[in-house]
Structure formats: C-alpha cells, structure tokens
Amino acid sequence: MIHLFFYLCVGLFLILTQTTASPYLPIPENSYDLTAICIFYLGIYRPFSEGISVIMVLGFIMDSISGTPFGLYITIYFWLYLGIKWLLQYLHGGSLITLPLVVALGILVENIFIMSTSAVMFPDWTLSMYIVRKIAYQVLFAACTAPLIIMLIKTVHLRLAGMIYGFYDKENGQD
C-alpha cells in the first residue's frame, strides 16, 4: 500500500510538472510525455502486479485532462508496460546502457500510437517532416534525460522504503 501511494505521488507530481510548471521551467516546448517516466520505472524495476493499477489510474487521469480521445493513454500505458516487461526477458533494462534504449523505444512507441490514432481520426492527416522531427527530438531528449529521472525515483523510493520499514521494525521491536 505504501508503495502504491508512492507511485501515485510520483505520477501526480510528473503530471503537475508537465501541465502546470513546464511553461515556466527550462523544459523544451516539444518535450516528451513526462508521466511515461513513471511507467518506465514501474515496468523496469517493479513486479507486474504492483504497477498495473497505478498505470490504469495515471492513464485515466491523462485521458481526462488531455484533448485525446478517452482511453488512448490507458491503452498506450498498458501496452508500454506489457512491452517493457516482454523486452526485459531479453535485455537487462536496469543498466545504464540499456535504460536509454528502453526509454527511447518507449517514447517512440507512444508517439506511433498517438499518430496512428490521429491518422484514423482525421482523414486529412498527413505525416509531415515537422512531425518526424518532433518525434525524433522527443526520442533523443528522452534518451538523454529520462534515465536520470528514473534513477532519481529509484533512489528516493529505496531510501523512503528503508526509512518506513526501519520505523515499522523499531515499532515492532524487531531492530
């Protein structure tokens, strides 16, 4: 329960940063989806059952506050999560070499999902150079910055878990 609360707080913090603070922070205008960082963290480092409910909640919130058709983010996050779990059977996602690769691939897949939906929704939609450049920029920017944020979340999570479980152990006289 404490873990779930932590993941939700991280997810909400990332959503708030993305929607309210980003215009005032030195984050590029065409930055990638920051909330996906939480999905990557859960997909790479946490067991399947622990993250799935958080992913659904974050997807629901994103769908509600975004202009996308309802259900798009739930679908994207669900398949991203499954995809990462599948990929980790062949790769060691936690290493500093493969982490940027997994993140870049994830952001690319997310954008492909959104573009495919746009292509279906809008008959006059075309794949322009602007879109290709924007996706390429997002993928590269994510590969450079997202692994650092994931490592930060991991460190904070471990420290907090250590503190909380240490506190409980003391309370129960198990130290």
Partner 1 sequence: MFPKKIVMIAGLILLIVAGIIFLSIAVRNPSLSSGAKKIAIAFLGPFQGSATQVVRSARNVWKHYFSLVSTAKENDRLKKELSLAVKHDNLYKETKLSNERLRKLLNFKKSKLDKVVAAEVISKDPSTWFKTIIIDKGEADNVSKGMPVVVHEGIAGQIVDTSPFYSKVLLIIDQNSAVDALVQRSRATGIIKGRSTGYCVFDYVLRKHDVHTGDIVVTSGLDGVYPKGLRIGHITEIVRRNSGMFQEVTVEPFVDFEKLEEVLIVLHSQEKGQAKK
Binding site for partner 1 (CB under 8 A): 12, 15-16, 18-25, 29-31, 33-35, 60-72, 75, 78-79, 114-115, 117-118, 120-122, 125, 128, 130-131, 134, 138
We find the least distance from the C-beta atom of residue 79 to partner 1, in angstroms, to be: 8
CA–CA distance, 100 with 102 (Å, rounded to integer): 6
Q: Which is nearer to partner 1, 48 or 70 (CB)?
A: 70
| Residue 89 or 174 with smaller CB distance to partner 1 | 89
Q: Is the dihedral of CA 146, 9, 82, 56 positive or negative?
A: negative
Q: How far is the CB of 121 from partner 1 (least distance, A)?
A: 6
Comparing CB distances to partner 1, the nearer of 29 and 175 is: 29
State the nearest-atom distance from the C-beta of 151 to partner 1, in Å.
23
Angle between helix axes 2-16 and 129-171 (nearest 10 degrees) is: 150
**Among 100, 130, 103, CA closest to 115:** 130
Question: What 8-state DSSP symbol labels residue 103?
Answer: H
Check: CB of residue 80 under 8 Å from CB of residue 43: yes
In this structure, the number of other CB atoms found within 10 A of the CB of residue 104 comes to: 20
User: Ramachandran region of residue 70, left (φ > 0), alpha (ψ -120 to 50) or beta?
Assistant: beta
Task: Give the nearer residue to partner 1 in terms of CB position, either 14 or 44.
Answer: 14
Could you tell me the smallest distance in angstroms from the CB atom of residue 119 to partner 1? 11
Quickly tell me which residue has 């936690």 as its tokens.
94
The distance of closest approach from Cβ of residue 164 to partner 1 in the complex, given in angstroms and rounded to an integer, is 23
Question: Which residue number, 136 or 163, has a Cβ lying nearer to partner 1?
Answer: 136
Residue 99: CB atoms within 10 A of its CB come to 21
